[in-house]
């Protein structure tokens, strides 16, 4: 009897999770006009019929709409997370209920379970991979090289993944073509700048219930993400300090009016630290030693190695959960340094994290969707290696978005086009 009721309760829970996951997806879908426009096209054309797509992405409502679009366009899809903490289990359950989708994504997995799920996804024998951080491409090359011959290509979502792919390509080790989706304007200028800026700041504020006004916020790394974070933190009346290692980026931050200084100095003045460099060991022992009591430490870069948590743990006399999503490391002298989301991507891995705003991800995933189609339609055009997203595809995604938002814009006249293409006109 008790066993029967336990099973019934579990089935009810699973059904409730699927329903909730679907509700989240439906809400996101209402605000994703680019994916909706592509859906109409792909449902009619079935461009992915016969394709098998292996994906490692942050499995939450917006990504789920991309996954479902690919499946509804004819593909068989297997998906898992690209971060142990960013999966929404209800969304994963809703996806898994689709007849052509298997989701292995689960929140809170350990390293072993994380890589087991990537291997399980690869059991689909993919013809296309879609990655966020390059873990899938790495697993193909390291553990399943026999899959390479049948892979048409892949798509990579984030800066860190593209860095890793380019390094692999330079070593001559990348054996199939991959689109650097991250680098294309319709992704980078919106997702990295606005998406990371808005969602990281919103998550830190919601997780801590603290204000930005009057705080000194140290942004480590003034790339596309750092630029957005700095602008939006300043817009909420924070004093922004930038740390950089690249002289032109440091100068750009200086000319924008932010204080630029080495981390060793910033450590002494900051109230909130946000790393977004894609590098490692950006905040280390020497910096912890000079920080003020009560500082917040958050990472918005891809991997959890920007803040040296092992060194912080060595320094700490005590560690405890100060609030959900906030761990205090208390030092011998009583100072408390608060780490958010275990040092993982704060906008995706903290307990209340929702990731980027929906509209921004519609653009990024619109680019992903047209790139997957390009790999199917024109596979022969791409050699192994990293490829830019074709400009006409990037522009097409922008045009769909502008049309959806009712924004009209000018077109070149024939005379202007001729002038712009000519070297003969001078004074
Ligand atoms: P980017 O390459 O445009 O900028 C990174 C900047 O950090 C560069 O200017 C570089 O000079 C600087 N930098 C490197 N090492 C540094 C150090 N030790 N100290 C100070 N500055 C340093 O990259 P982008 O697009 O801004 O991405 C940064 C990271 O954020 C990547 O890991 C990327 O994958 C991740 N990302 C995270 C997102 C999120 O949702 N949280 C969204 C998009 C990207």
Is 1 a residue whose pLDDT tops 60? no
- 324 and 371 together in one domain: no
pTM of the model: 0.92
Q: Give ∠ CA 319-320-322 in degrees, rounded to 5.
A: 130
Classify residue 426: in a domain, yes or no. Answer: no
Classify residue 414: in a domain, yes or no. Answer: no
- 30 and 152 together in one domain: yes
* Domain end marker among 349, 367, 395: 349
- For ligand 1, atom 20, the nearest C-alpha belongs to 244
Q: Give the model's pLDDT for residue 426.
A: 77
The model's pLDDT over 296-320, given as tens digits with 9 standing for 90+, comes to 999 999 999 999 999 999 999 999 9
Counting residues of the chain whose pLDDT is more than 70, the rounded percentage is 99
Classify residue 420: in a domain, yes or no. Answer: no
- 230 and 367 together in one domain: no
Q: What is the CATH number of the domain that holds 392?
A: 3.40.50.1480
- 377 and 395 together in one domain: yes
Classify residue 317: in a domain, yes or no. Answer: yes
Whether residue 246 has its Cβ less than 6 Å from ligand 1: yes
Classify residue 413: in a domain, yes or no. Answer: no
Ranges of H-type helices in 52-148: 61-72, 89-96, 111-122, 135-143
- DSSP string over 175-208: -SEEEEGGGSHHHIIIIIIIIHHHHHHHHHHHHH
Task: Look up the domain containing 37 and give its range.
Answer: 3-187+357-404
- 111 and 252 together in one domain: no
- 161 and 238 together in one domain: no
- 135 and 213 together in one domain: no
- 64 and 203 together in one domain: no
d(CA 279, CA 102): 33
- For ligand 1, atom 4, the nearest C-alpha belongs to 223
Classify residue 118: in a domain, yes or no. Answer: yes
Whether residue 306 has its Cβ less than 6 Å from ligand 1: no
d(CA 156, CA 162): 6
Classify residue 172: in a domain, yes or no. Answer: yes
* Domain end marker among 331, 349, 367: 349
- 14 and 154 together in one domain: yes
Residue 139 CB coordination number (10 Å): 20
- 180 and 251 together in one domain: no
Strand spans (E) along 332-373: 336-340
Classify residue 177: in a domain, yes or no. Answer: yes
Number of domains in the chain: 2
- 8 and 126 together in one domain: yes
Is 10 a residue whose pLDDT tops 90? no
- For ligand 1, atom 3, the nearest C-alpha belongs to 223
Whether residue 282 has its Cβ less than 6 Å from ligand 1: yes
- 181 and 201 together in one domain: no
The model's pLDDT over 37-84, given as tens digits with 9 standing for 90+, comes to 999 999 999 999 999 999 999 999 999 999 999 999 999 999 999 999
Q: What is the CATH number of the domain that holds 230?
A: 3.40.50.720
- For ligand 1, atom 22, the nearest C-alpha belongs to 221
Q: State the distance from the centre of ligand 1 to the C-alpha of 278, rounded, in angstroms.
A: 4
């Amino acid at each position: 009897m008790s066993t029967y009721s336990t099973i019934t309760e579990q089935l009810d829970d699973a059904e409730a999770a699927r329903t909730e996951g679907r509700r989240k997806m439906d809400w996101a879908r209402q605000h994703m006009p680019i994916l909706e426009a592509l859906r109409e096209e792909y449902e009619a054309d079935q461009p992915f019929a016969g394709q098998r797509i292996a994906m490692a992405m942050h499995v939450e409502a917006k990504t789920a709409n991309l996954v479902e679009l690919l499946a509804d366009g004819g593909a068989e899809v297997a998906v898992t997370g690209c971060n142990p903490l960013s999966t929404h289990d209800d969304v994963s359950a809703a996806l898994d209920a689709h007849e052509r989708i298997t989701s292995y994504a689960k929140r809170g997995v350990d390293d072993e379970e994380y890589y087991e799920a990537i291997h399980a996804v690869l059991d689909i024998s993919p013809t296309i991979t879609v990655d966020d951080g390059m873990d899938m491409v790495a697993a193909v090359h390291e553990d399943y090289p026999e899959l390479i011959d049948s892979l048409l290509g892949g798509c990579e979502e984030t800066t860190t993944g593209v860095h890793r792919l380019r390094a692999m390509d330079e070593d001559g080790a990348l054996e199939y073509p991959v689109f650097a989706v991250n680098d294309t304007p319709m992704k980078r200028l919106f997702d990295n700048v606005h998406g990371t800026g808005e969602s990281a700041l919103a998550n830190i504020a919601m997780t801590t219930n603290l204000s930005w006004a009057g705080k000194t916020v140290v942004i480590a790394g003034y790339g596309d993400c750092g630029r957005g974070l700095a602008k939006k933190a300043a817009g909420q009346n924070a004093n922004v300090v930038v740390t950089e290692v690249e002289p032109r980026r440091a100068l750009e931050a200086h000319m924008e009016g932010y204080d630029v200084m080495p981390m060793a100095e910033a450590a002494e003045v900051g109230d909130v630290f946000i790393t977004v460099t894609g590098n490692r060991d950006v905040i280390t022992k020497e910096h912890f030693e000079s920080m003020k009591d009560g500082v917040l430490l958050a990472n918005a870069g891809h991997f959890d190695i920007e803040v040296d948590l092992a060194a912080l743990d060595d320094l700490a006399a005590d560690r405890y959960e100060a609030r959900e999503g906030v761990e205090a490391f208390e030092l011998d002298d009583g100072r408390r340094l608060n780490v958010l989301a275990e040092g993982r991507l704060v906008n995706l891995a903290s307990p209340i994290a929702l990731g980027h705003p929906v509209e921004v991800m519609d653009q990024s995933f619109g680019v992903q969707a047209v790139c997957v189609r390009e790999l199917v339609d024109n596979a022969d055009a791409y050699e192994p290696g990293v490829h830019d997203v074709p400009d006409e595809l990037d522009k097409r995604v922008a045009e769909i978005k502008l049309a959806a938002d009712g924004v009209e814009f000018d077109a070149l006249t024939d005379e202007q086009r001729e002038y712009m293409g000519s070297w003969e006109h001078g004074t």
